[in-house]
Amino acid sequence: MLIRYLSQIGRYFLMLKEIFNKQTKWSVMRNLIFKEIDDLIIDSLGIVCFISFFVGGVVAIQTALNLTNPLIPKYLIGFATRQSVILEFAPTFISVIMAGKMGSFITSSIGTMRVTEQIDALEVMGVNSLNYLVFPKIIALLLYPFVIGISMFLGIFGGWLAGVYGGFTTSAAFIDGAQMEFIPFHIVYAFIKTLIFAMLLATIPSFHGYYMKGGALEVGKASTVSFVWTSVCIILFNYILTQLLLGS
């Protein structure tokens, strides 16, 4: 079991090396990148906006309901919402959701190409299939921090709306809390995490789709496995990066 996992990890890093070898012509690559931006970034905005807005509202309401002592100031609702959304919810929670949404799409699309022998056809034509299939996804997901930025804004906005119109706090108190003791490095920390999660979201599902074997049933199994491993890696890297960037 251990040997199998180690061999898979080794194959993953060899795949990363191969992605950047023998580049596809820019005229072809440009169209592939725009297609991946549309499939992976634009198509994900709807679900990200919906989840971010309502989870931000839930965080604000839960914080307000737990502040039962009248001596505790109401601006803490805004403070807690901002910290929760920027530090953990937007970069990490949304990335785990995207592991299901983006990851399954990437694994199934590449896995289907493997099953229908389209990847073999690319290799016969002398094309570096890994560069052709995976490199555009990596470039497209460089825009992933833009999605997380929208998630942060909508999460805090949803918290403000739920807190003010739910009668839990005033608008001025929430905004004061959201601005209180703001540390700009927290935004930098969140976007550093986001870029690393973007790399994981592009490469781990691609790995499981590219190296899968079998037929249509195995494509579904590979999608499930890729979601599990992408989520595990995101949570693991989240812990490591938090310890490195905020723990010192």
3 state DSSP class of 1: coil
Instruction: Report d(CA 197, CA 99) in Å as an integer.
Output: 9
pTM, two decimals, is 0.88
pLDDT tens sequence across 183-229: 888 899 999 999 999 999 989 998 888 888 877 788 888 888 889 99
Indicate the DSSP class of residue 142: G
Taking the C-alpha atoms of residue 156 and residue 177, their distance in angstroms, rounded to an integer, is: 11
Tokens at 152, concatenated: 């942060």
Rounded CA-CA distance 146/156 in Å is: 16
Token pair of 70, please?
Answer: 């009248």
pLDDT band at 150 (very low <50, low <70, confident <90, very high): very high
Non-local (6+) Cβ contacts of 35 within 8 A are 136
Greater model confidence, 37 or 117:
37
What pLDDT does residue 126 have?
79
CA distances (Å), origin 155, targets 124, 146, 158: 48, 14, 5
pLDDT tens column, 92-132: 999 999 888 888 888 888 888 888 888 888 788 878 888 88
**pLDDT for 245:** 87
Q: Going by C-beta distance under 8 Å and a sequence separation of 6 or more, which residues neighbour residue 92?
A: 193, 197, 234, 235, 238
Residues 94 and 51: beta-carbon distance below 8 Å: yes
**DSSP-derived secondary structure for 166-222:** TTSS-HHHHHHHHHTT--THHHHHHHHHHHHHHHHHHHHHHHHHHT--SSHHHHHHH
Identify which of 108, 115, 116 has the alpha carbon closest to the alpha carbon of residue 224: 108
How much is the pLDDT for 171? 84
Task: Return the ∠ at Cα 95 (arms to 136 and 171), rounded to 5°.
Answer: 125
C-beta separation of 130 from 18 below 8 A: yes
Say yes or no to pLDDT of 166 above 90.
no
pLDDT tier for residue 29 given thresholds of 50, 70 and 90: confident
Q: Is the pLDDT of residue 172 over 80?
A: yes
Give CA–CA dist 123/119, Å, rounded.
6
Report the pLDDT value the prediction gives residue 248, as an integer from 0 to 100: 60
* pLDDT at 23 (0 to 100): 79
